[in-house]
Amino acid sequence: MSEIKDRRYHHGDLRRALIDSALAMLAADQSWTFTLREVARRTGVSHAAPYKHFRDREELLRELARIGFISLGKAMTEAMCPDLSSTRARFMAAAQACIGFACQNPGLYRLMFSSDADKTIDPELHDAAMITFGILLDLLESGQSDRSFRPVAVSALAAASWAHVHGLAMLTISNQFLEEKVGLAPVPAALDVLLDGMCCTD
């Protein structure tokens, strides 16, 4: 048995090892231009080994995006702790968790919303994305039930919220928020503006 094969079997779970290597490469370079051959080299396995688990590079990228959505959903859920006193506070916490996740994982976050993470051809990726989006929908519906948010179509609230938070995340990880333009704390200030528009006034 060759040295490469020995190293492969020491991994135990080759699929997980390949994913971990790809995530590390994505975090280091904040891009996903790597090839399966490079992932195999990083993992310490033969060039052919990844094809036992991933048909091509695009399938691996979609799996990374799926993992990203699961992690994002977990971060948002954990941020909305029961101690928060209002739906508005839970929304603020979830939104900041989303932006924080993007800042901690800029390459992964960009991949999740790129054309390389095509949700139309990957049911598992689509489901993971929709479950994460469902966290927002549940929060908005809860806010309407307790009269925190305006009684408009929840789809309109969701579109405004997602566009706003995602835009803040992308601008933040692209270092576009300059103090001379938007002040010292643009993210919470922008979220307050969003919430002021969404909240009931009576």
The pLDDT tens digits of the residues spanning 80-136 come to 988 888 999 999 999 999 999 999 999 999 999 999 999 999 999 999 999 999 999
Structure-block tokens of residue 137 = 């929908």
Q: Of the segments 2-6, 7-11, 65-69, which one has the largest average pLDDT value?
A: 65-69
Q: What does the alpha-carbon distance between residue 74 and residue 72 come to, in Å, rounded to a whole number?
A: 5
* Protein fold of 57-198: Tetracycline Repressor; domain 2 (1.10.357)
Q: Give the angle subtended at the CA of 129 by the CAs of 124 and 135, to the nearest 5°.
A: 130
pTM higher than the cut 0.75: yes
104 closest CA partner among 20, 51, 27, 175: 27
Q: What does the alpha-carbon distance between residue 20 and residue 104 come to, in Å, rounded to a whole number?
A: 16
The pLDDT tens digits of the residues spanning 145-178 come to 999 999 999 999 999 999 999 999 999 999 998 8
- Per-residue model confidence (pLDDT) at position 98: 98
Structure-block tokens of residue 108 = 């992964």
Spatial contact of 107 and 61, defined as CB atoms under 8 Å apart: no
